[in-house]
Amino acid sequence: MAAPPFDFHVDLGVPPEQLPTSELTDLLRAIDAIVNNTVPGADPERDDRVNCCLVRINKQSTHLQLKASQPERAVKSMQVASNAINENRLGDLPPVSRDGVARLWNWSCKRGAAVKLFDTPKGGPIAVISPKKNLDLPTRMVGLTTLYGQVFRAGGKRPNVKLLVREGDPVVTCFGDLQIIKALAARLYQVVGLSGTAVWNTTSWKVESFTILRVLDYEQASLQQAFAELAQAAPTAWAEVTDVSAEVRRLRSEDEA
């Protein structure tokens, strides 16, 4: 028996001619977020993405049929997300997966359409996202993560440091025990790596506060220093290359070929 032409499908409830490509792109990204972040890969240390390909769109309604590079993981992700939707327990989903569900629901409310999720080529939908369904999206979420940023201030009655993660964003207040904060105070205005527990705002997905569990063995280096250390580690690797820039361009052209 031939394998089905697709692994899972999503019905958006509107005709294709009424769906701009910009909206379709956003919805496909939301589906990709659910597929890739609901169920982890076999090896968490690897960047083992599931590649989803759109193989067909039906005419009457925008019924997206998708083929996945890891069909079992993709289908399992759809099933887990659907259970969370049906039981209104979105807080159980990983943050990026939950954000994907939220984007589908926001689009559904905006367009007045029902988004139906299917896990097999045959059978009915395993979850329906519609304006009539009130999804309980938590406004705060807690989880383990890693932050890299510049230390701006250290101290306080409750020991903390202020970390600038991205230029233009508000600084993140990072709490920790006294010894950790003292160590970070000695690295004022340096970029550090911190592992710990974050509190996110689920509307903006900005980190609101952070509790430091450990300081990572990380030290920012200039590009010149990085190349100098690379040359020291492999002193003979480029010994016979007279024009390094030309050699790098050649290697890049081979990778892009």
pLDDT tens digits, 131-184: 888 887 767 777 788 999 999 899 988 999 999 998 888 899 999 999 999 999
pLDDT score recorded for residue 248: 65
Q: For strand 206-215 and strand 172-175, is the pairing parallel, antiparallel, or unpaired?
A: parallel
Query: What parts of the chain have a pLDDT lower than 50?
Result: 1-3
- Strands 160-164 vs 206-215: parallel, antiparallel or unpaired: unpaired
How far, in Å, CA of 192 to CA of 177, rounded?
Answer: 17
220 Cβ neighbours under 8 A, 6+ residues apart: 190, 191
Position 142 scores a pLDDT of 77
Q: pTM (2 decimals)?
A: 0.56
What pLDDT does 204 receive?
74
